[in-house]
Amino acid sequence: MRNLHHPEREQLDLPAVLYALSDPTRLEIVRKLAGEGERACGTFGLPATKATLSHHFKVLREAGLIQTRVEGVHRYNSLRKPDLDARFPGLLKAILKATAPR
Amino acid sequence: MRNLHHPEREQLDLPAVLYALSDPTRLEIVRKLAGEGERACGTFGLPATKATLSHHFKVLREAGLIQTRVEGVHRYNSLRKPDLDARFPGLLKAILKATAPR
């Protein structure tokens, strides 16, 4: 099993986090993950190819926004809310509020 | 005098705003502007060429983060705090908190 790289909490970098969030599809992934615990990669119902989604999950993971757990051939993602809230208080909340369906 | 384009409040787009903020120099410009009203372009004391800074101001302006007023050969920038707070409540505050010198 491949080990995926996840930055430590203290390594999280604000510009990289904001860059990861600067894409509508990645914002939507974060919004969906915020509403629940863990979610398998194929279940987001987003209009993008598997390769494109893989890229988006990678950007989010490498910036420290999500945790990816590999189980057999499946990958399960969760939002690193405690880490994000500790490093950037109020940021995730403001972004989720701004992306809420109106 | 050239008229510079500024998007209206209702046109502000969250991914574009986050992208504009995803750069350390642009974050520093926003942080400096947050502490005061208006500031001339050449007074930021940032380690970047004039061309690079012009590019950063343009990205910030086109995303709706700053207002640029042209007066003769000078350009004065200010943060569009009321517009940002109206569209994305809490976002600017969280970002300024995260960029505060520790």
Q: Mind telling me how many Å the CA of B8 is from chain A's nearest CA?
A: 17
Q: Spelled out in words, what is the top-level CATH class assigned to the domain B9-97?
A: mainly alpha
pLDDT over threshold 60, residue A12: yes
| pLDDT the model gives residue B82 | 97
Question: Is B22's CB within 8 Å of A27's CB?
Answer: no
Q: How many CA atoms lie within 13 A of A15 on its CB side?
A: 9
Please tell me the predicted confidence (pLDDT) of residue A11: 95
What secondary structure does DSSP assign to B11-33, as a single string? Answer: G--HHHHHHHTSSHHHHHHHHHH
Q: Tell me: the pLDDT tens digits for A45-64? A: 888 898 999 999 999 999 99
Chain A residues touching chain B at CB-CB below 8 Å? 14-16, 18-19, 21-24, 27, 87-91, 93-95, 97-99
Helix residue ranges per DSSP H, chain B:
14-20, 24-34, 50-62, 81-87, 91-99
Amino acid code (one letter) for A86 = A
What was the pLDDT predicted at B1? Answer: 45
User: Interface pTM (ipTM) of the complex?
Assistant: 0.92
DSSP one-letter code for B6: -
**Total beta-carbon pairs less than 8 A apart between chain A and chain B:** 66
More confident residue, A3 or A77: A77
Q: What is the mean pLDDT of residues B56-83?
A: 95
Residues of B in contact with A21 (CB under 8 A): 15, 18
Q: Which of A75, A94, A53 is nearest to B17 (CA)?
A: A94
Give the distance from residue B52's alpha carbon to the nearest chain A alpha carbon, in angstroms.
17
Q: What does the pLDDT read at residue B2?
A: 61
pTM (2 decimals)? 0.93
Model pLDDT, residue A36: 80
CB distance B94–A87 less than 8 Å?
A: no
CB-CB contact of B18 with B60 (8 Å): no
Which residue type occupies A85? D
CB–CB contact A14 B27 (8 Å): yes
- pLDDT in the model for residue A1: 44
Q: Which residues contact A38 (CB under 8 A, 6 or more apart)?
A: A69, A76, A77, A78
Percent of chain B with pLDDT over 90: 71
Going from N- to C-terminal start, the domains of chain B cover 9-97
Give the best residue of A10, A14, A30, A56 to mutate against chain B (max B CB count within 10 A).
A14
pLDDT in tens, B44-60: 888 889 899 999 999 99
Name which residue leads in pLDDT, B27 or B74: B27
Both tokens assigned to B70 = 């042209």
What is the per-residue pLDDT across A67-99, written as a single tens digit (0 to 9) for each?
Answer: 999 988 889 999 999 999 999 999 999 999 998
pLDDT over 80 (residue B3): no
Angle formed by the axes of helices B50-62 and B24-34, nearest 10°: 70
Q: Residue A2: pLDDT band by 50, 70, 90 thresholds?
A: low
How far is it, in rounded angstroms, from Cα A2 to Cα B17?
35
What is the DSSP secondary structure assignment for residue B100, as one 8-state letter?
A: S
Instruction: Decide if A27 and B15 are in contact by the 8 Å CB cutoff.
Output: yes
- The two tokens of residue B44 are 């930021």
User: How far B22 CA lies from chain A's nearest CA (Å)?
Assistant: 4
Q: What is the mean pLDDT of chain B?
A: 92
